[in-house]
Structure formats: C-alpha cells, structure tokens
Structure 1
Amino acid sequence: MTGFKKFLFRGNLIELAVAVVIGAAFTNVVNALVRGFIGPLIALVGGEPNYDNLKFTIAGTEFPYGVFLTAAISFLITAAVVYWLVVLPATKLVERMSRAEEAVEHPCPHCLSDIPKLATRCRYCTAEVEPVA
C-alpha cells in the first residue's frame, strides 16, 4: 500500500493527468481538421475514403475487413497531418531555441560547471576565470 501511495502523490502523476487531458483536447482538434479539410480533399482526388461496407463471408460468418481498412487509412492520414503540421515545426523551433542557449554558457576550467560566458568568477567553486568573448 505504501508503494501505491507514493505513486499517487508523485509530481509526475499530475503532469501526466494534465498531458492526457491536453492530448484528448488536441485529438479533437486533429480529428476535426482531418474530417473538415483533409478528408474532403482526399475525396476530391480519389473518392470517399470509407471502406466500412467491404467484407467477406466464410461458412456464414462475416469478416468486415473494411472497418479495419478505413481505420488504418484514417490513422495514416491523421499521423501525417500531426507530423507535418505539429511535430516538424515544433522540432525546428526547439532546435533554434537550443542554439541560442548553447552560446550563453561555457564550462569553468576549474570545476567544469557551466557558467555564463561573461562571468569573471565561477559561482560554484568561486575561482576567478577569464570572460569569454
């Protein structure tokens, strides 16, 4: 019981709950984008991407493989939209921000802690250092 209590009161659990709620809201936005714009564009080019009626029968039992096919196509379209409109731009933004952060600090020659480039004394070991231009 103690382990379960620790699990419930960890800080990560609250962050995880917030992430799930935000993820669910974001799912609605992505699904609306696919239904409202991407799906109709695909329907213009290649017809309606709905194969729910496709099925085959063996010994009187129906296998509606079209439901799976429609879900798989919908997943691929949604994944492509998320990648091109969210993941790729976010990755580029993080890269630009990290480049700016890299140029701000350098390692202290005495204790190897990261200190500002313009510092004349290390805040960790208090050794005097030469500022880096």
Structure 2
Amino acid sequence: MMLKEFKDFIMRPGLIDIGVGLVMAAALGAVITALVDNVLMPIVGLIFGEPSFDSVLAFNTAADGTGGIRIGSFITALITFLMIGAAVFFFIIKPYKAVMAKVEGPAEEAAPEPDPEDVVLLREIRDALNRS
C-alpha cells in the first residue's frame, strides 16, 4: 500500500517537469556565474581598480584589514543573482510569452455579460409605462 502511494507520487508527470527544470536552472546558474566572474567582474575591476568586491569590508575595526563585515562578498553574490534573474527574464520568460502569444493568436474580446434579471425587469416596466 505504502509502496503504491510512493510509486504514484514519483510517477506524476509534473514531478518529471520540475526535475528537468531544476537541472536546467542549475546549469543556467553555472553559466551566469561564469559570465559574472569572467566577463562582468573584470569590467568592474577596470572601473573600480579591483576585479571583485570580495575584499570590501564594512565596519573594519582591525588595523590589518581582517576584521569587519565582508559586505563585498554579498555585493558580488547580489550581482550574480541579478544577472541570473535578468537572464531568466530576457532569455526564457520573454521568448516564452512571445511564442505563446503567437500560438494562442490574437485575444478575442469577451462577449458582454447579459444584464441581471432586475435590470431586464426594470426595462420592461419602463417600456410598458412609455407605451401607456
């Protein structure tokens, strides 16, 4: 009984799609991380003089520069996250929406909803009064 339920759970079609999506997301994350580390951060290095923000410290209390909060690592991770988000949006979401719009065709206008019964009844009363 328990094995059958487990088999039914594993064999759901949506679960396979989710698994494929996770594998693709991990691969895309590696590609974007390589892009950030090898393309974007060297440009940052040309602008700011250092190839990454990893050495930036906040509230540095030690004289030798080892103390403090490593805010630079967070900034680098944030840039990577934003680049992954932009890549997903511009290379997956936007093309998907464009393809779906072409497949579905132009949106048809919805038929107007019929008037409620009370409005119809009031119109009939008005029309009857106008006739008399």
Do the structures match in fold with TM over 0.5?
A: yes
Contact 1:53-1:64 at 8 Å conserved across structures: yes
| Higher RCO structure (Cα 8 Å, ≥6 apart) | 2
Any stretches of 5+ residues in structure 1 without a counterpart? 110-133
1:74 is aligned with what amino acid?
T
Q: Which residue is equivalent to 1:100?
A: 102
- Report SS of the residue matched to 2:54: coil
Q: Which residue is equivalent to 2:69?
A: 65
Q: Percent identity?
A: 25
Number of residue-to-residue matches in the alignment: 102
Distance in 1 (CA, whole Å) between partners of 2:19 and 2:86 is 26
Any stretches of 5+ residues in structure 2 without a counterpart? 112-132
Q: Which residue is equivalent to 1:45?
A: 47
The answer to which of 31-40 and 88-97 deviates more is 88-97
Instruction: Tell me whether 1:16 sits opposite 2:18 in the alignment.
Output: yes
Q: Which structure features the higher share of helix residues?
A: 2
* Distance apart, 1:93 and its partner CA: 2.6
Contact 2:57-2:68 at 8 Å conserved across structures: yes
Distance in 1 (CA, whole Å) between partners of 2:93 and 2:68 is 39
How well do the aligned residues superpose, as a CA RMSD in angstroms?
A: 3.4
* Distance apart, 1:100 and its partner CA: 2.6
- Encode CA deviations 1:20-55: one digit per residue, 9 max, x unaligned: 221121111111101110011111111321227766
- Report SS of the residue matched to 1:65: coil
Q: TM-score, normalised by structure 2?
A: 0.56
Q: TM-score, normalised by structure 1?
A: 0.55
Contact 1:52-1:64 at 8 Å conserved across structures: no
Q: Which structure features the higher share of strand residues?
A: 1
